[in-house]
Amino acid sequence: MNDQEYAILKKRVLGMTGIDLDNYKSQQMRRRLTSFIENSSCDVIGYCRMIEKDEASLRKLCDFLTINVTEFYRDAWAFADLEKNILPGLLENRVHINVWSAGCSDGSEAYTIAMILLSLPRKVTFHILGTDMDELSLARARAGGPYKDDFLKSLPKHYLSKYFSCDKGRGEYWVNKDIKDRTTFKKHNLLADPFEKGFDLIACRNVTIYFTEEAKDALNRRFHESLKENGILFVGATEFMMNAMKCGYHKLGTCFYQKTVPSIARI
Ligand SMILES: C[S@@+](CC[C@H](N)C(=O)[O-])C[C@H]1O[C@@H](n2cnc3c(N)ncnc32)[C@H](O)[C@@H]1O
């Protein structure tokens, strides 16, 4: 795909989906889109016409761009670290916490955090907001299922028996009302929409892989504004924040950054 074709495609995608491809690493995104469009047997201009007319093709493109692969308790060691080493400190002097699962896909991450919080010996009340820009994934999150057993393979067995009901015939699981009632799921684009504030814990994992460094940096700064004092940002296993100190964070563990500098002091 040449520069002109990519510019046309970017404009069309922004207009039709709200996804600004300028926030994604250009070379990687262009390579991925080139082979994706080749598979549809169109040239770029033909493809732009197709997504305008055909809703299913537009849906396919959105799925391709959002990559909504997820599972419960993804990277078990990171959730074990959250439970054993991060939450005890965070919950000191707190009786209620607000959590945001940003780029939550089908809710697996939000529900995993809910189960961990409910299982802690130190009882706290909590609310979890899950956001994503993919409506299909959000529909499953809001319904609390169905989740195939494949997506639950990393989840400790005691969570499965305690917090899910199972349709054995279909091999499908649904989270219990008790967990569902503590969550809200909303459509939200991290690269375009305003952010809510007042979170104690923000999980944004495996979402920014294709974002440019500038987009990631801006996002980390916006998360900083959304976190309360000493709040925690929980990132993916391979997501290292280069300029954590500049953004007002202190690294607490492989996947955890704590807001140390109050927002006002950085301005
Ligand atoms: C690979 S999944 C990760 C899900 C979950 N956080 C996890 O680690 O298992 C990435 C999710 O991020 C969402 N996403 C990507 N870009 C986004 C954006 N700009 N705003 C909101 N969600 C986005 C996708 O729709 C997708 O559901």
- How many whole angstroms from 68 Cα to the centroid of ligand 1? 6
pLDDT of residue 266: 45
Which ranges of 67-196 does DSSP label H, i.e. alpha helix?
Answer: 76-81, 87-91, 108-119, 135-143, 157-163, 177-180
| Residue 37 confidence (pLDDT) | 92
Tell me the CA–centroid distance for residue 104 and ligand 1, in Å: 6
Pocket test for ligand 1, best of 132, 154, 195, 196 (most atoms within 8 A of CB): 132
Phi-psi region of 248 (alpha: psi -120 to 50; beta: other; left: phi over 0): left
DSSP per-residue letters across 48-68: HHHHHH-HHHHHHHHHHHH--
Residue-level pLDDT at 261: 76
For the CA of 134, the closest atom of ligand 1 is 25
| Distance from Cα 194 to the centre of ligand 1, integer Å | 17
* 256/238 Cα distance (integer angstroms): 12
Q: 255 and 237 in contact (C-beta within 8 Å)?
A: yes
d(CA 103, CA 68): 9
| Reported pTM | 0.91
- What burial class does residue 136 get, using C-beta atoms within 10 Å of its C-beta: 0-12 exposed, 13-18 middle, 19+ buried? middle
Residue nearest to atom 9 of ligand 1 (CA): 70
Calculate how far, in angstroms, residue 136's C-alpha sits from the geometric centre of ligand 1: 12
Pocket test residue of 69, 73, 82, 133 for ligand 1, highest count of atoms within 8 A of CB: 133
Domains of the chain are: 3-66 (no CATH), 76-266 (3.40.50.150)
Nearest CA to ligand 1 atom 12: 103
CA–CA separation, 217 vs 211, rounded Å?
10
Q: Which residues of the chain have pLDDT under 70?
A: 263-267
Ligand 1 is surrounded, with C-beta below 6 A, by 66-70, 74, 103-105, 109, 132-134, 137, 188-191, 205-207
Two structure tokens written together for 13: 């995608």
Paired tokens of 74: 């993804």
- By alpha-carbon position, which residue is closest to atom 3 of ligand 1? 206
Specify the pLDDT at position 267.
39
Distance from the alpha carbon of residue 102 to the mean position of ligand 1, in angstroms: 7
